[in-house]
């Protein structure tokens, strides 16, 4: 584990990017998408959830993927993660011999420097820090609610109603017909097969979440462009990875199970090539997916106003 103070150095940052990417590449090479099925048991926080801090605040971006993958690998049943010091402050302690998971914090600092003509020039310097968190399953002595089991907050029918209202509130032009799901940039609409064509309602809404993430790339919205020019090229693979992660984030937020789409199995080879060529892209893709999810969430508040 890198010490947090080390990760401000360029070589340490590069090492962290490589370590995270290598772990995800290894999962993909084994046919595992670490952002699918990241939940394993009922919990007070809900069976399906983003990873949560001790305060109940959800993690975002790349940290969601890192902690989901850790949960799957280790079989953790709780979605809550805390630091060593937080465990102590809560009256608990990490069990001896337990190993934590890496999460990252990215930001920029402003530094004033002298320009070529002696004037003050402000520079934005990016930095990346790594720190360690532990799943509450690794911690003893915590208050009972950290391990409490409860019924889901919404039953299956209510979750589907909630998802229907969520996507309706976005204002996206969602059309039904045919046998393919896609987002058409030119006419700016989402095309979905009829609801009845899907194996179950959750499969329908997971697919809709994927296509609505694509919908956010329009120039009038988030204006996301990876230079894709044809089906299957590198830009296409990059956008598909963003949509895949966006769907995972949204399904977790909506309490819906996300299972891999069979028609996307062919993308894995392309994602592997992209990630091997650019060790930072999984961070970039997760950031774009987070922005897309946030963009879709903001329309819920608009509709409620």
- Evaluate whether 5 touches 11 at the Cβ level (below 8 Å): no
Q: Are the beta carbons of 32 and 60 closer than 8 angstroms?
A: no
The pLDDT of residue 299 is above 50: yes
SS3 107: strand
The answer on 207 and 115 residing in a single domain is: no
Residue 249 and residue 164 in one domain? yes
What's the number of CA atoms in the CB half-sphere (13 Å) around residue 75? 0
- Does the residue 151 lie in any domain? no
Condensed to tens digits (0 to 9), the pLDDT of residues 197-244 reads: 888 888 899 999 999 999 999 999 999 999 877 777 899 999 999 999
Higher-pLDDT residue of 43 and 25 is 25
User: What is the rounded average pLDDT for all residues in the chain?
Assistant: 85
* Closest among 19, 74, 23 to 51, alpha carbons compared: 74
Task: Please report the pLDDT score of residue 3 as a whole number.
Answer: 35
User: Per residue in 91-118, is it b (16+ CB within 10 Å) or e — as a string?
Assistant: ebebeeeeebbbbbeeeeeeeeeeeeee
* Res. 265 pLDDT band, cuts 50 70 90: confident
Q: Is the pLDDT of residue 38 over 80?
A: no
User: Looking at the domain assignment, is residue 117 inside a domain?
Assistant: yes
Shared-domain flag, residues 8 and 130: yes
* 139 and 196, same domain (yes or no): no
pLDDT (average), residues 97-106? 93
Q: Structural domain tally of the chain?
A: 2
Domain that holds residue 31: 4-146
How many C-beta neighbours within 10 Å does residue 3 have? 11
54 or 260, greater pLDDT: 54
pTM of the complete model: 0.84
- Does residue 141 sit in the same domain as residue 160? no
Which are the contacts of 138, defined by CB distance < 8 A and separation ≥ 6?
Answer: 76, 94, 95, 98, 100
pLDDT higher than 60, residue 73:
yes
d(CA 85, CA 93): 9
125 and 252 housed in the same domain: no
| pLDDT tens profile 11-28 | 555 688 898 899 899 989
Two tokens, residue 37:
């099925």
């Amino acid at each position: 584990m890198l010490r947090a103070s080390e990760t401000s150095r360029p070589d340490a940052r590069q090492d962290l990017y490589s370590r995270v990417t290598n772990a995800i590449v290894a999962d993909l090479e084994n046919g595992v998408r670490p952002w699918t099925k990241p939940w394993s048991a009922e919990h007070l926080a809900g069976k399906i959830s983003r990873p949560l801090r001790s305060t109940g605040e959800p993690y975002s971006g790349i940290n969601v993927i890192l902690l989901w993958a850790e949960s799957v690998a280790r079989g953790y049943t709780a979605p809550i993660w805390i630091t060593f010091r937080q465990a102590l402050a809560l009256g608990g302690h990490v069990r001896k011999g337990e190993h934590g998971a890496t999460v990252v914090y990215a930001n920029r600092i402003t530094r004033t420097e002298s320009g070529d003509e002696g004037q003050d020039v402000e520079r934005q310097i990016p930095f990346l820090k790594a720190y360690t968190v532990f799943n509450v399953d690794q911690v003893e002595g915590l208050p009972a609610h950290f391990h409490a089991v409860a019924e889901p907050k919404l039953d299956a029918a209510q979750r589907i109603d909630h998802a229907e209202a969520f996507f309706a509130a976005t204002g996206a032009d969602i059309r039904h017909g045919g046998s393919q799901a896609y987002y058409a940039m030119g006419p700016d609409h989402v095309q979905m097969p009829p609801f009845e064509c899907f194996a179950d309602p959750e499969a329908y809404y997971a697919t809709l979440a994927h296509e609505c993430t694509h919908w956010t790339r329009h120039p009038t919205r988030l204006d996301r462009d990876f230079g894709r020019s044809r089906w299957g090229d590198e830009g296409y693979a990059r956008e598909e990875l963003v949509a895949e992660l966006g769907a995972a984030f949204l399904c977790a937020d909506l309490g819906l199970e996300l299972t891999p789409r069979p028609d996307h199995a062919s993308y894995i080879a392309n994602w592997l090539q992209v990630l091997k060529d650019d060790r930072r892209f999984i961070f970039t893709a997760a950031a774009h997916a987070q922005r897309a999810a946030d963009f879709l969430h903001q329309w819920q508040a608009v509709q409620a106003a």
